[in-house]
Structure 1
Amino acid sequence: MGIQPESSGISKAQKLAEMSKPAVVRILDYAVVDWQFSGTNPDVAEYMNAVQYRSVFGGSGSGAIISPDGYIVTNAHVVNGSQLKEEEIANIAFEQLVGEIADYYGYNYQAVYDYMVQYTLYTNVEKVLKVILPGGDELAGEVKSYGGMDNAGKDVAVVKVEAKNLPTLKFGNSDNIENQDNIWVIGYPAAANSDVLSQDSSLVSSMNAGQISATSKKTEQGSPVIQLNAASTHGNSGGPVINDKGEIVGLLTFRGDTVNGQEVQGFNFAVPVNTVKEFVNQAGAKNKKGDIDKLYEEGLIYYWGGYYKNALEKFEAVERLYSKHSEVNRYISLAEKKAPDSKKLWSDYSTIFYIADGIFLLLIVFLMLFTFVMKPKQPKPAAAAPAAVNINVQDILLALQKQQEENKKDD
């Protein structure tokens, strides 16, 4: 960009949010199980008919895009359902179904279980792994590497979607973090999905600030984890923990114990990004930024500095490359409205000066050419004719006479 427009009026947190959120996604991992029920209990039959003999089992989490071509990092437990066998999924879904019926009618769980296990069979299991981009696109995901759920310190998965020109986040180095470093957690907490909010609100991620509480803790298996005090809840799992440079330093993975049935904030843990890198390498992925990131960040810097016309050019370039960008259309609209009040960059003025200097230089060259090359030459004066010689006959005669006398002496 050359000159960096002034943007000191924008807080660090706001800058990080606007630059980072387009690369944070929601991940849905679930299975649909179809049932066949042959029992005669009217309550169970009524319930099965109401749910159309179908159960949905699974959950949601968050993730971060790390490459323009669609590689995403998240927790292994967020995509665990996609790794289970059909029978395992059916068993879990059956227990869930029994619990729903028992709760709905106030029956004893074990009694319902014992009855339904005799008359219920699963006929089909459909596994779904879906990535919802901030712009609203829903893409099928495929797990490329998976750390498993036995060790929270390796609670990492890499998911691939078919896309291009996606916004990304850059990896930092978790070895460089210190206690009390400022961090931010970004994701899609389930607690933010309220009935009073619009459907579009489910596409908006949340960002919470906090600090690193401890850097040297380990799981029972000896894997390092980072403790932090930023608020988080269900749905945040797999979301990026970023530093003040906007770099990923970890992935949120699990929370501390509950007290009186309530989650205790301030006891949250993250997988260090250097552990995440191991699984990214296994997946054959590379963490890199794309043209979208550069253009969007330059546009934000121009916009925050009051250079709305310059910002508009950058945002429109982003829109041409990736029309589903979650933020760019809003910024295009804002920049268009503010364009009449746009500041001018020095580079815009210098371009005018360069043109003027060029014209002035051409004039000088033209004058020099006219003076020294194109000016008509003055005719040279004619060469002076040789002076006329007067021949004296008497001198010639004397010379001849002298010559004759010399000849006689020789004889």
Structure 2
Amino acid sequence: MKPETGKVSQAQKLNEYTKPAVVRIIDYAVVGWQFNDYNPEVEAILNELNYQTLIGGSGSGAIISSNGYIVTNAHVTELAEMEDQEIADLAFEQLVSTIADYFQVDFHIAYDYMVAFTKWTGIEKATKVILPGGDILDGEIKSFGAPINEGKDVAVLKIEEKNLPTIPLGDSDEVGNQDNIWVSGYPAAADSNLLSPDSSLVSTMNAGQITATEKKTEQGSPVLQINAASTHGNSGGPVINENGEIIGLLTFRGNTVNGQEVQGFNFAVPVNTVKEFVNQAGAKNTKSDTDRLYQEGLQLYWGGYYKQALEKFEAVERIYPNHSEVKDYISNSEKKIGESKILWSDYSTTFYMVDVVAGLLILILLVFTFAGKSNKTKAAVAGTSSIHPMQVSDKTDTQTTTQETKPASEGDDNRADLNKDGKVDIQDILIALQEHQKNQNKDGND
């Protein structure tokens, strides 16, 4: 019997089920510079920058397999797929912007000057995956579709980890207009200098609906239009249906109006497109033991069965110690364990044990009862036919022999030993039951 969880809304359940598997992805490159002109002011700026330029961005993604496969947008990880010269060109433009702003000159003037005296000396690229529990791991791209203006904008990453929480992939062909959906991820707008550092590990989930299902990109790839609020940083984050399944990845927003973002017009790559790249990567979307135990624990916790929930959460911690949510649930379950309800299965076990003990006691009572009756009957018969100390003369022998006959009840060390094998066991119980049945039949016939 499943615990009653009616007080917890569907949206709350989906958030708790899925957020341990929603990750932040940082894709960046560091470009080193050499400056070949004598210009103390420019050199001072380069010194402050350590003669390096950092470029990159962040997005969101979702873990789909317990061994570390993650789905996201291609444009979230595109630096990792770029040629070094492309990265150097992007970094150089950023460097020029810094110089132009400092000297308050036109970008093109600063560009012409810097390009004459500057060259890149090295590039370091990295794709990092930040798990909700705080771990930062290297991500390796296993399959990649070009960004949205060039391709299907899907990438599949792999991190080295096991027993990870996951989110199942749904079927975007089953999506209908006005279906309820939730977008989960790490929008930049939710980051603030006023928040604690660990707040950056907490994903945001926004609710909305599917508002169009028949739209396509210029390249002909299908997209889903949604009205859930999202912004930079949400890219690659899962769009989740009422069953807790991924039905798309948030990818881009509608055009700005007067330079301002307009919410309610965002677009997602359908999950069936995502599956093409999942298959290319050789990934399998399977539910992990971590998911099963965690979700069972949540159902018990929401139902008020804190003792049983604690056991599930502790099991999760044993197989995946860095789970983002389970430590808090363990702590809360321990605090509430005195209020814990008892599951019907526990009652059933107790009743079963009581029944077994009671049954054994009844059988033992029957053994002693009917064994006693049998021995009393034997004693009565022996008493009428026996002669107490007497002499018996043998006609063929003039010698007199004295025999003493004991009462039948004497010498029976255990009245319950009905089969006379020297011990009381299951065979004696069976004999007692048979005797009882015979007596019942006899009484019935009489």
In structure 1, what is the equivalent of residue 250 of structure 2? 252
Query: Using the alignment, how far apart are the partners of 1:167 and 1:114 within structure 2?
Result: 51
The amino acid across from 1:51 in the alignment is: L
Compared CA separation, residues 118 and 105, structure 1 to 2 (3 A): same
How far is 1:153 from its partner? 6.4
**Where do residues 39-54 of structure 1 align in structure 2 (5 Å cutoff)?**
39-54=37-52
| Equivalent of 1:267 in 265, 272, 275 | 265
Contact 2:178 2:209 in 1 (8 A): yes
The amino acid across from 1:321 in the alignment is: I
Query: Using the alignment, how far apart are the partners of 2:106 and 2:39 within structure 1?
Result: 15
Q: TM-score, normalised by structure 2?
A: 0.83
Query: Using the alignment, how far apart are the partners of 1:234 and 1:208 within structure 2?
Result: 14
Once the two structures are superposed, residues 101-132 of structure 1 have per-residue CA deviations (whole angstroms, 9 ceiling, x without a partner) of 21233121111111111111111100001000
Q: Does 1:108 align with 2:106?
A: yes
How far is 1:42 from its partner? 2.7
In structure 2, what is the equivalent of residue 86 of structure 1? 84
Query: Using the alignment, how far apart are the partners of 1:9 and 1:259 within structure 2?
Result: 42
How far is 1:364 from its partner? 2.9
Query: Using the alignment, how far apart are the partners of 2:102 and 2:213 within structure 1?
Result: 46
Q: Does 1:12 align with 2:27?
A: no
Deviates more, 1:134-143 or 1:343-352: 343-352
Q: TM-score, normalised by structure 1?
A: 0.89
Compared CA separation, residues 54 and 358, structure 1 to 2 (3 A): same
| Equivalent of 2:350 in 339, 352, 357 | 352
In structure 2, what is the equivalent of residue 135 of structure 1? 133
| Equivalent of 1:225 in 214, 223, 226 | 223
In structure 2, what is the equivalent of residue 316 of structure 1? 314
**Where do residues 150-299 of structure 1 align in structure 2 (5 Å cutoff)?**
151=149, 154-299=152-297
Deviates more, 1:368-377 or 1:322-331: 368-377
Query: Using the alignment, how far apart are the partners of 1:165 and 1:159 within structure 2?
Result: 16
The amino acid across from 1:192 in the alignment is: A
How far is 1:43 from its partner? 2.5
Contact 1:66 1:72 in 2 (8 A): yes
Q: Secondary structure at the match of 1:134?
A: coil
Compared CA separation, residues 352 and 152, structure 1 to 2 (3 A): farther
The amino acid across from 2:216 in the alignment is: K
Contact 1:152 1:254 in 2 (8 A): no
Give the alignment's Cα RMSD to 1 decimal. Answer: 1.7
Q: Secondary structure at the match of 1:149?
A: coil
How far is 1:31 from its partner? 0.4
The amino acid across from 1:75 in the alignment is: N
The amino acid across from 2:3 in the alignment is: P
Query: Using the alignment, how far apart are the partners of 2:226 and 2:98 within structure 1?
Result: 36
In structure 2, what is the equivalent of residue 386 of structure 1? none
Once the two structures are superposed, residues 35-66 of structure 1 have per-residue CA deviations (whole angstroms, 9 ceiling, x without a partner) of 11122223321110101101111111000000
In structure 2, what is the equivalent of residue 394 of structure 1? none
Q: Secondary structure at the match of 1:313?
A: helix
Query: Using the alignment, how far apart are the partners of 1:206 and 1:57 within structure 2?
Result: 25
How far is 1:372 from its partner? 6.0
How far is 1:367 from its partner? 3.5
Contact 1:152 1:253 in 2 (8 A): no
Query: Using the alignment, how far apart are the partners of 2:106 and 2:149 within structure 1?
Result: 35
The amino acid across from 1:232 in the alignment is: S
Query: Using the alignment, how far apart are the partners of 2:196 and 2:31 within structure 1?
Result: 29
Query: Using the alignment, how far apart are the partners of 2:61 and 2:114 within structure 1?
Result: 38
Query: Using the alignment, how far apart are the partners of 1:195 and 1:284 within structure 2?
Result: 40
The amino acid across from 1:297 in the alignment is: Q
Deviates more, 1:373-382 or 1:292-301: 373-382
The amino acid across from 2:79 in the alignment is: G
Contact 1:153 1:224 in 2 (8 A): no
How far is 1:238 from its partner? 0.2
The amino acid across from 1:211 in the alignment is: Q
Query: Using the alignment, how far apart are the partners of 2:212 and 2:150 within structure 1?
Result: 16
Q: Secondary structure at the match of 2:220?
A: coil
**Where do residues 58-73 of structure 1 align in structure 2 (5 Å cutoff)?**
58-73=56-71
In structure 2, what is the equivalent of residue 378 of structure 1? 378
Compared CA separation, residues 209 and 300, structure 1 to 2 (3 A): same
Once the two structures are superposed, residues 68-94 of structure 1 have per-residue CA deviations (whole angstroms, 9 ceiling, x without a partner) of 000000001100000011111111111
In structure 1, what is the equivalent of residue 325 of structure 2? 327
Query: Using the alignment, how far apart are the partners of 2:127 and 2:335 within structure 1?
Result: 40
Identity, in percent, stands at: 66
Query: Using the alignment, how far apart are the partners of 2:367 and 2:64 within structure 1?
Result: 60
Query: Using the alignment, how far apart are the partners of 1:118 and 1:151 within structure 2?
Result: 32
- The number of aligned residues is 381
